[in-house]
Amino acid sequence: MTLIAGNWKMFKGPVEAGTFCRALREADLPDDVDVVVCPPFVSLAESVQALAGTEIGVFAQNCHWENEGAFTGEVSAAMLQELGVYGTLVGHSERRQYFGETDETVGKRVRAALDAGLHVIACVGETEAEREAGETDDVLRRQLSVLEPDDNLVVAYEPVWAIGTGKTATPEIARAAHETIKAVLDVPVLYGGSVKPDNAAELMAHHAIDGALVGGASLDVDSFAAICRASRS
Ligand code: 13P
């Protein structure tokens, strides 16, 4: 089964999220693709409500490892579950780059979310400098070293140089990275980084690429639905 997840990042408050999700319910989505949206925390409740009774899953963008406590600005797995949220992203490169997320904290967040029963999309990927220095495989193995196989775990390979840049990894680069990841951890692997309706089919054609984590192109219902249709197996 192919999984297409839309990471909205810091876009769409509750009103816009509700409008989007109601339109997504009516969109032409293929039956053989699992579809997920990842709204900001404040829009999760509205999104869960608007998508109730559909197969479309709602994921958060992050999750703390403690159940509760003095952790200002953080949200726990239990709180997400109370809202009806199905899973969470963890370790997105923007969290690693701008908010001090480390392999260690990623490992703790992933473990806690899985233990609580959430599904997890854990993100890994090298920077441009790391790729140019020939360190891609080492970086991926280091980032994966904190993860253990789990039926509810999916990894997203998101090369940092391809995120929001329009520079998509070639299917060959993505395939090679996905095979490295799968050799370490036997879980489905999504590709993320400038996925658009017109490059999704080519990327998804390889069996090592199990779906996509889509940023910018997931913010528009027509373009997100077009990516889902292009990705059908
Ligand atoms: P873009 O699709 O905008 O490049 O973002 C990718 C991403 O970071 C998804 O998590």
pLDDT at 161: 93
pLDDT of the residue at 63:
98
The most distant pair of C-alpha atoms in the chain lies apart, rounded to whole Å, by 48
* Residue 1 confidence (pLDDT): 85
Task: Compute, in angstroms, the gap from residue 69 CA to the centroid of ligand 1.
Answer: 31
Q: Element (H or E) spanning 87, and its range? A: strand 87-90
* 206 classed as catalytic: no
Measure 122 CA to ligand 1 centroid, in angstroms: 14
**Could you tell me the two tokens for 190?**
């999504």
Query: Is 178 assigned a catalytic role?
Result: no
> Residue 225 and residue 227: Cα distance in Å, rounded?
5
What would the pLDDT profile of 125-144 be if each residue is shown by its tens digit? 999 999 999 999 999 999 99
Point out the ligand 1 atom lying closest to the alpha carbon of residue 217.
2
Contact 108, 120 (CB under 8 A): no
At residue 109, does pLDDT exceed 90? yes
Binding site membership of 163 for ligand 1 (Cβ less than 6 Å): yes
Q: What angle do CA 227, 136, 10 make, to 5 degrees?
A: 45
Catalytic residue among 92, 94, 126, 178: 92
| Residue-level pLDDT at 200 | 96
Closest to 6 (Cα-Cα) out of 167, 171, 151, 196 = 196
For residue 46, what pLDDT is reported?
Answer: 98
Pocket test for ligand 1, best of 89, 121, 163, 199 (most atoms within 8 A of CB): 163
User: Average pLDDT of 166-185?
Assistant: 94
Q: Measured between alpha carbons, how far is 104 from 64 in angstroms, rounded to an integer?
A: 13
pLDDT at 166: 86
In this predicted model, what pLDDT tens digit does every residue of 55-77 receive, in sequence order? 999 999 999 999 999 999 999 99
